[in-house]
Structure 1
Amino acid sequence: MNSTYVLPDAPASLESSAETASVIETPLRIAQRLATTFALTAAERDARGGTPKAERDALRASGLLAMSIPEAHGGLGANWRQTLDVVRTLGRADSSLGHVFGFHHLMLATVRLFGSSAQWRAWFEQTARRQWFWGNALNPLDERAVSHSHADWWEFSGQKSFCSGALDSEMLIASARDVDSGALLIAAVPTGRTGISVAEDWNNIGQRQTDSGTVTLEKVRVENHEILTDPGPLSTPFACLRPLLAQLILTNVYLSIGESAFNDARHYTLHEARPWHTSGVQTTSADPYILGQYGEFWAGLEAARLLTDRAADRFDAAWTRADALTDAERGDVALAVATAKVAATEIGLTICTRMFDVAGARATHGALRLDRHWRNLRTHTLHDPLAYKLREIGEWALTQRYPTPSFYS
């Protein structure tokens, strides 16, 4: 990947996040600048919910939506470790934005892994040129959407839930179950196509600006060239990297939430918290019990960071193997990703729960909305039960059997 990139002008509403004059910067530095601005309004936007339109437009203007697209097709040519570093950087500022940014790149990877060369090359080039945002309407566990075959096109009808980033997107990855064969069909379609309705009905306790609500498909015409059948979903070891990338994106989002909670707790411990009256110390930072908890937090975060970065490096190595990737090589990546996800989940939930023990009573002030860290992580981690991830790892540890490829492993 090129080491520098010319940052386009940012929208006027977010001029503070990027100078109006073009600046030569690395993609990570661009993300850091955007994250600094995003963090200023994260608590307020969490309370409001809805679509972070100005922030999504800033991501469009930044060029980062083309980050994982090869340079030959107009993108920045980043590898997955670099792209995931940006997911984590944005997630530390606002986990909702880290989430939708990561899922955008997951959707691009989906057309690369499941589609033909002619399909993904054309979509990559248009995405880079037009600054498209991709949203998700796949959800393989939601069977309410079905498809009917016609002579040279398909009809998708039904609903999909947990459609992260679908609102304010230009393209969707959508799925439907073929009523005749029972096969899961996955397609790339314009969000604005006739028959597609994206509801503003996401109102969960966490990840409140991911727009992960409902997409309704009403007799949507899907052309044959929009169906991803070559090689198709989970059809080869390389195609089976798609769920591992999804898991790795989530792992980086989880880790970013834990890091953000740690940073907020540290600020309030140092600047707001008061030592307990029987502690015998003058400052909270000298309390041995609080120091011990911070030691636990830090050790857990360091372990999760190392495991997550190791998993990303192994994923990149597998990605470069492409069609030569073997089942065993894919299995090794699956184990590395699952292990990192367990570590990020466990330390994240620990910090988000216990941060108030070390930050003090003032940290519970409602306007701070520091509870959003727990709400965000708890909302997200429930969609893929940790117990089943541990069972997969345990099966490998005991019997040396790799996890069976699915949309979640």
Structure 2
Amino acid sequence: MSASALASGSASATTNPLREVPRESIAQTVVRLSADFAPTAAERDERGGTPKAERDALRESGLLALSIPGEYGGHGASWRETLQVVRELSQADSSIGHVFGFHHLMLATVQLFARPEQWQPWLEQTARRRWFWGNALNPLDDRAVCTVHSPWREFNGRKSFCSGAIDSEMLIASAHEQGSGALVIAAMPTARSGITVEPDWNNIGQRQTDSGSVTFEAVRVEQHELLADPGPLSTPRSCLRPLVSQLILANIYLGIAEAAFLAAKHYTLNESRPWPAANVAHMEDDPYVLGHYGEFWVGLEAVRVLADRAADRLDAAWHSGPSLTTHERGDVAVAVATAKVAATRTGLDLCTRMFEVAGARATHGGLRLDRHWRNLRTHTLHDPVAYKLRELGEWALKRRHPDPSFYS
């Protein structure tokens, strides 16, 4: 589904006066933002750091309220619609698509892990005040410790891979409870005393996602900020959270692959010269080049279909509410894992082989076209695809759904 499909969504543009962007203009807003972000993506990739102007543009656009239900001031977009925007922003600049997608993941997290009386005010204020949410929930990093001081808690320690934490208004953070080791997750203002967001992200890819570290020093966490009812991964519905996360990643990867395809296409048609042995006047007539593009097209089309199918299944599961069964959740998990594996493999292949059809001029350092591979390679290493394939093998051979975890 293209961005234009957003213009014909089911929610009415007049259902809530707090909306900053009418429903019928969402598609145009996404196109405009993408056109603004894309020309500077290579230069900002080189610079790294926080994409402050771009984040502020997202705030002003109203799209931070895209997935928020209309009754709480948002646009009420489906997951398929929201993920389409993640994909299109990622095509323009995968770092921007990343922080935008993770923002909506945090909004999903509070809805799935907490009580309505907790998350409803957060969603309303996010829509009204244009809050950006950041991530400090990394269950594999156990350096943050939670101490119980009834009825409040105290966080101390450090978290890594905290995407979007810099320049956020709200933060979802986790720590392991001292003694029991239980995972404790809370939502809190990023500016709270004792929280330090470190500008220490300097990886080869996704260089403007601010995915560095957050340090907690005697940070007080109130009881009403704990996401404990029903809590993380405690019900089939709460177990949708990792599936939202995984499908956001799949759409980021697809957006990167689509960007690489368009860049290669431009250079094939405008800059490349045919190899003498091809005996053709133009690169686009080389049969080997055409074969590459045929394979690129098949791969991208397959990932698009798989990603959209998984999004439709996620939407159906999301709207099932508390009645969602373990089996139904498992079917979504299989669809999401399939899309993510396909997006990873197709994307890495395309981002590598694009230079075979774009030609030597495309390797000029100033173009930084290698950023597509760097971005995809950096992100896909955080969740090894081999384990996704093992889960899918269990399903294909034994009809066993993946066991819920923060990565499946």
CA distance in 1, matches of 2:11, 2:35: 23
- Map residues 72-87 of structure 1 onto 2, 5 A cutoff: 72-87=71-86
- SS class of match (1:240): helix
How many angstroms does 1:25 deviate by? 4.2
CA distance in 2, matches of 1:263, 1:52: 23
1:134 alignment partner in structure 2: 133
1:348 alignment partner in structure 2: 347
Instruction: Determine whether 1:370 maps to 2:369.
Output: yes
CA distance in 1, matches of 2:161, 2:297: 32
2:64 alignment partner in structure 1: 65
1:310 alignment partner in structure 2: 309
CA distance in 2, matches of 1:23, 1:299: 36
Q: Please provide the CA RMSD for this pair.
A: 1.6
CA distance in 2, matches of 1:67, 1:24: 10
CA distance in 1, matches of 2:22, 2:362: 38
Cα 1:145/1:367, change in 2 over 3 Å: same
2:32 alignment partner in structure 1: 33
How many angstroms does 1:26 deviate by? 2.7
- SS class of match (2:276): coil
Cα 1:181/1:253, change in 2 over 3 Å: same
**Conserved? CA contact 2:11–2:23, under 8 Å:** no
Amino acid at match of 1:262: F
1:387 alignment partner in structure 2: 386
Cα deviations by residue, 1:202-255 (Å, 9 ceiling, x for unpaired):
000000000000000011000000001110000000000000000000000000
CA distance in 1, matches of 2:76, 2:250: 22
- Map residues 178-193 of structure 1 onto 2, 5 A cutoff: 178-193=177-192
Amino acid at match of 1:285: E
2:54 alignment partner in structure 1: 55
- SS class of match (1:278): helix
- Map residues 202-351 of structure 1 onto 2, 5 A cutoff: 202-351=201-350
- SS class of match (1:229): coil
2:111 alignment partner in structure 1: 112
How many angstroms does 1:151 deviate by? 1.9
1:399 alignment partner in structure 2: 398
- SS class of match (1:166): coil
Amino acid at match of 1:286: D
Amino acid at match of 2:217: E
- SS class of match (1:159): strand
CA distance in 1, matches of 2:239, 2:28: 32
How many angstroms does 1:180 deviate by? 2.6
Pick one of 8, 11, 14 that aligns with 1:2. Answer: 11
2:6 alignment partner in structure 1: none
Q: Share of identical aligned residues, percent?
A: 69
How many angstroms does 1:4 deviate by? 5.0
Amino acid at match of 2:236: P
Amino acid at match of 1:366: G
- SS class of match (1:26): helix
CA distance in 1, matches of 2:379, 2:31: 23
CA distance in 1, matches of 2:304, 2:212: 30
Cα deviations by residue, 1:278-297 (Å, 9 ceiling, x for unpaired):
11000001000000000000
CA distance in 1, matches of 2:297, 2:167: 37
1:16 alignment partner in structure 2: none
- SS class of match (1:41): helix
Amino acid at match of 1:322: G
CA distance in 2, matches of 1:28, 1:197: 36
**Conserved? CA contact 2:163–2:209, under 8 Å:** yes
Amino acid at match of 2:311: A
Amino acid at match of 2:11: N
How many angstroms does 1:27 deviate by? 1.7
**Conserved? CA contact 1:4–1:26, under 8 Å:** no
Q: What TM-score comes out, normalization by structure 1 length?
A: 0.95
Cα deviations by residue, 1:8-41 (Å, 9 ceiling, x for unpaired):
9x9xxxxxxxxxxx88843232111100100010
1:45 alignment partner in structure 2: 44
- SS class of match (1:217): strand
CA distance in 2, matches of 1:310, 1:250: 15
**Conserved? CA contact 1:3–1:26, under 8 Å:** no
**Conserved? CA contact 1:28–1:85, under 8 Å:** no
Cα deviations by residue, 1:147-199 (Å, 9 ceiling, x for unpaired):
00002100000000000000000000000000132210000000000000000
CA distance in 2, matches of 1:233, 1:24: 32
CA distance in 2, matches of 1:44, 1:338: 33
**Conserved? CA contact 2:49–2:208, under 8 Å:** yes
Cα 1:3/1:293, change in 2 over 3 Å: farther
Cα deviations by residue, 1:293-348 (Å, 9 ceiling, x for unpaired):
00000000000000000000000000000100000000000000000001111110
CA distance in 2, matches of 1:3, 1:267: 39
**Conserved? CA contact 2:13–2:22, under 8 Å:** no
**Conserved? CA contact 2:12–2:23, under 8 Å:** no
Amino acid at match of 2:333: A
Moved more, 38-47 or 175-184: 175-184
CA distance in 1, matches of 2:211, 2:160: 7
Moved more, 212-221 or 179-188: 179-188
Q: 5+ residue gaps in structure 2?
A: 1-9
How many angstroms does 1:265 deviate by? 0.2
CA distance in 2, matches of 1:130, 1:181: 37
CA distance in 2, matches of 1:302, 1:163: 32
**Conserved? CA contact 1:186–1:227, under 8 Å:** yes
How many angstroms does 1:2 deviate by? 3.4
Cα deviations by residue, 1:364-388 (Å, 9 ceiling, x for unpaired):
0011000000000000000000000
CA distance in 1, matches of 2:367, 2:373: 13
Amino acid at match of 2:277: T
2:94 alignment partner in structure 1: 95
CA distance in 2, matches of 1:31, 1:329: 32
Cα deviations by residue, 1:38-72 (Å, 9 ceiling, x for unpaired):
00100000000000000000000000000111110
1:124 alignment partner in structure 2: 123
